[in-house]
Amino acid sequence: MTSRQIDTPIGPLTLTVEDGYLTRLEFGAPATLGEASPGDSEVLDKAIREILLYFQGRLTEFSIPVSLKGPPFHLKVWEELKKIPYGETRTYQEIAESLGSPKAARAVGNACAANPVAIVVPCHRVLAKTGLGGFGGGLAVKKWLLRHEGVSVDDRKAT
């Protein structure tokens, strides 16, 4: 496992790679940084390049290999989130319906909150029916990411 912190327009992000896969992308500084193994270093370097290109507006789709671990429903939600194109949004309800669970909007929100690789698995693109919803990096960061992708958020309130 290896981790590295990078500076971005939304503050520091910590990326963690394990066994050749990005396993975490967290807001803020890490408690500790892991030592790099050669294979992990290559993937980490690629992840950093892609994240920085994203913030420069030069990348709209990530190709970083990601390993997601969690409950089965969360895994389904995260796979669905990866299908939301850059610059588009969905509601928690729309994600629930696309998974065949129309009454599971709240569970979709819980899965978004538990997303271990924010931005790469774009939970920031999921909104509540009446506003922004929540976001682990904070609502100001969610607004920044959406605006960065060309989504108008001025008329949406936090819920």
Active site residue 123: yes
Instruction: Return the closest-CA partner of residue 15 out of 38, 33, 37, 42.
Output: 33
Output the pLDDT for position 159. Answer: 43
Output the pLDDT for position 154. Answer: 66
pLDDT digit of tens for each residue in the chain (159 aa)?
Answer: 899 999 999 999 999 999 999 999 999 876 566 666 777 999 999 999 999 999 999 999 999 999 999 999 999 999 999 999 999 999 999 999 999 999 999 999 999 999 999 999 999 999 999 899 999 999 999 999 999 999 998 654 544
Please name each of the domains of the chain with its CATH number.
Answer: 2-55 (no CATH), 72-148 (1.10.10.10)
44-50, Cβ contacts within 8 angstroms, sequence gap of 24 or more: 44/2, 44/4, 44/15, 44/17, 47/15, 47/17, 47/22, 47/120, 48/4, 48/6, 48/15
Output the pLDDT for position 37. Answer: 74
Which among 13, 112, 123, 141 is annotated as catalytic?
A: 123
Residue 25 and residue 116: Cα distance in Å, rounded? Answer: 6
Model pTM? 0.92
